[in-house]
Amino acid sequence: MPRLSLYRPNKTNDYKYIDNIIREQFNVGCSDVYIHEYVGHNDASGNEVPVNPNPDEIEVQVPIEDLLFLENRNRNYSENVLVMRGHFNVVDLEFDLSQFGLFVQGDTLYMQFHYNTMIEQIGRKFMNGDVIEIPILMDEHPLNQLIPMPLPKFYVVQDGSFAAEGFSQTWLPHVWRCKLVPMRGGQEYEDILNNCMDKGEENIDGDNGECNNSCTLGEWMCQHNDNMYINDANMKEAINEVPLSGYENDMYYLMPPDDNESYTKEGSGYESFITTFDYSDVNIDNTTFDTENTTWIEYELNSVIANQEKENGFLVGYLTGNALPPNGAPFSVGVTFPSNPEKGDYFLRKDYKPERLFQFNGTLWATIESAVRTDMYLGDTVKTQRSGFVNNTDTVQTTDRGKIPSSQTLDELLRPKEDN
């Protein structure tokens, strides 16, 4: 009498019988899911790289686009959407308050598929990168009334293995279990998110047959537009609060003494001004300083005034220069100095970087200050040295590698290239 054993090393008729029963259970008791198969990615040159570039080899290879961050961002998905039956437990979203912060539990799904059906339809097992659309979780009544159609629910396969409950009496597996996480609106899934929700003629570009940006899945499903709106509002408020670097000092009124007038120290408003100067720096010709009456008589402060106007008096500080005259004095603008200036005239040279304000003292144009205060943001319209350095669009001509862009991402800069 042969020894009794439920284990079978080979897939016998018992295995096929049990597998057909399990297949029928999936067809009867599970829901439809739509499979967006991950088929490869585009390399740096825009060429398509399939999941298995060497089909003759036994091992399935998945090339990595970015070896620095180990990412495949420019992914390609099959245009054909497969329909399969999958089983998962519907769970409620719960917030975990047992630790610092707010964490959502229940957004990860574990879905089971019939293994042989998966192999027959896809030709391989589900792997990281495949996208699964679950129609029973579709949002048929979104709060935004402008959305033309119900919003589908997408999940991404994060891991896969044989399910523990999928082993039959013959100790052979029949069920493939996948860990699914919600799909985010990232660059990896643009091939899916750029599809049209409403393929009406008004939403199709007649030139290339592609969707307008206003009718794509990503336009309505992702938080990109909301995040951009919040970011733009924050930038607008930041520019309103702090328009330029450094700090503002134009609200202070500066009263330098005139070199042709006399002022008394007491009650003149210049007490602090007089006491802050070193009298040894004052050029006095045939004048006296009456210490008893604290009166300045017939004095000349040419050097003091020139020094004060050059530095905007006591308002000098880090990044305070805005190339504007003190007290709102009039000034001229140009790239060459005027031919017949008068003493005390201000002139702003636009050809200097940064722009520079000069004042004519009777014999020469003395530098007052430069416009060192710049915009805080680095937009394309900002014409500053800092913005030009960050948003540099120039190329460098080399003898061995051709033209190299001055602005490069890290993965392009560190990518090994042939130098022969």
Report pLDDT digits (tens) over 221-272.
Answer: 877 778 888 988 998 898 888 888 888 777 777 665 454 443 333 333 333 3
Q: What is the mean pLDDT of residues 191-220?
A: 66
Mean pLDDT of the chain: 76
Q: What are phi and psi of 118, to 5 degrees?
A: -60, -45
Which residue would you say has higher pLDDT here, 244 or 175?
A: 175
- Residue carrying structure tokens 């049209």: 196
According to DSSP, the β-strands at 38-42 and 48-50 are antiparallel
- Residue carrying structure tokens 């200097």: 352
* pLDDT value, residue 300: 36
For 267-317, write each residue's pLDDT tens digit. Answer: 333 333 433 444 444 444 444 444 444 333 333 333 333 344 334 444 556
Q: What is the mean pLDDT of residues 180-206?
A: 74
Which residue would you say has higher pLDDT here, 19 or 249?
A: 19
What does the alpha-carbon distance between residue 68 and residue 415 come to, in Å, rounded to a whole number? Answer: 8
What does the alpha-carbon distance between residue 167 and residue 336 come to, in Å, rounded to a whole number? Answer: 88
Quickly state the pLDDT bin for 211 (edges 50, 70, 90).
low
Question: For the chain, give me the number of helices (H) and strands (E)?
Answer: 9, 19
What does the alpha-carbon distance between residue 115 and residue 178 come to, in Å, rounded to a whole number? Answer: 11
CB 135 within 8 A of CB 32: yes
**Domain regions of the chain by residue span:** 13-221, 271-370
Quickly state the pLDDT bin for 381 (edges 50, 70, 90).
low
- Quick one: which H or E segment has residue 335? none
The pTM assigned to this predicted structure is 0.58
